[in-house]
Amino acid sequence: MEAQVIFAFSLAIFFFYGAHSATFTFTNNCPYTVWPGTLTGGGTPQLSSTGFELASKASFTLDVPAPWSGRFWGRTQCTETSGKFQCATADCASGQIACNGAGAIPPASLIELTLAANGGKDFYDVSLVDGFNLPLSVTPQGGSGGCKATSCPANVIAACPPELQVKGSDGSVIACKSACLAFNQPQYCCTGAYSSPATCLPTQYSKIFKSQCPQAYSYAFDDKSSTFTCSGGANYLITFCP
């Protein structure tokens, strides 16, 4: 199942919204503060928290009702100036710590997840389709049917070519763009004549991401090695800088 399809999971299952819930534990192993963001897809209600501060070595738990489909990410280098909250990477442009239904502005490392109802099969992945801003992982706790962890533990910024680099106010590289974001060409964005798995193939840029994080999506149709499943109503550990 392709990453965007996972995120836009069939609206029909939401008829049973709230039949089951999973506990997500967010842990920050980075040596700096991260501000996680959450976004629910499919036009359904947002979670009880859409953004929060997570100090280094701190944890935060969030109950997610199933079925549910959405994504998580971490914002970095955030400040509040004149009452407006904003972040140097993966900002959601809400002006607040809470994202309030807004998604991450690329480049951003993403965790995409669909929870099924009543202990059914969950789908989850780490995606660098929108670029990279920090390492992260998702680890099922409990469940059955494989339930393997997936991650992007590497600092992709260290391998980011100059044409994809995003630099901060001090001139240091703080994120790595996807080739789609950098060049906006169909062969990198899997659009137009390149909108199928047969025509949209790995590029020199997606291969850089894949070499750094083999389990993560490196481009839109990178399904075979990047989509993971778990059954039986697992809980999940989300780790920044695993």
Contacts of 159 (CB under 8 A, 6+ apart): 208, 211, 212
Q: Give CA–CA dist 219/207, Å, rounded.
A: 9
> What is the model's pLDDT at position 233?
85
Domain boundaries, the chain: 3-158+213-240
What is the arithmetic mean of pLDDT over 39-61?
Answer: 95
Whether 128 and 181 have beta carbons less than 8 Å apart is answered as no
Of 111, 93, 112, 113, nearest to 103 by C-alpha is 93
| Residue 41 to residues 58, 67, 70, 145, 234, Cα–Cα distance (Å) | 27, 11, 5, 25, 20
> What is the model's pLDDT at position 1?
42
Q: Give CA–CA dist 60/47, Å, rounded.
A: 14
Mean pLDDT, the chain, rounded, equals: 91
Tokens matching residue 197: 């798995």
Contacts of 184 (CB under 8 A, 6+ apart): none
Of 184, 178, 177, 166, nearest to 88 by C-alpha is 166
| pLDDT tens-digit series, residues 97-123 | 999 999 999 999 999 999 987 668 999
Q: Give CA–CA dist 102/86, Å, rounded.
A: 13
pTM more than 0.85: yes
Tokens matching residue 201: 């193939």
**59-66 and 235-240: which strand pairing?**
unpaired
237 vs 233, more confident: 237
> What is the model's pLDDT at position 119?
67
CA angle 203, 204, 206 (to 5 degrees): 60
Stated as kind and residue range, the H or E segment containing 211 is: helix 204-212
The CATH architecture annotation of domain 3-158+213-240 reads: Sandwich (2.60)
| pLDDT tens-digit series, residues 65-108 | 989 999 999 999 999 999 999 999 999 999 999 999 999 999 99
> What is the model's pLDDT at position 42?
83
Whether 53 and 25 have beta carbons less than 8 Å apart is answered as no
> What is the model's pLDDT at position 5?
39
Q: Give CA–CA dist 61/184, Å, rounded.
A: 37
What is the arithmetic mean of pLDDT over 19-37?
Answer: 93
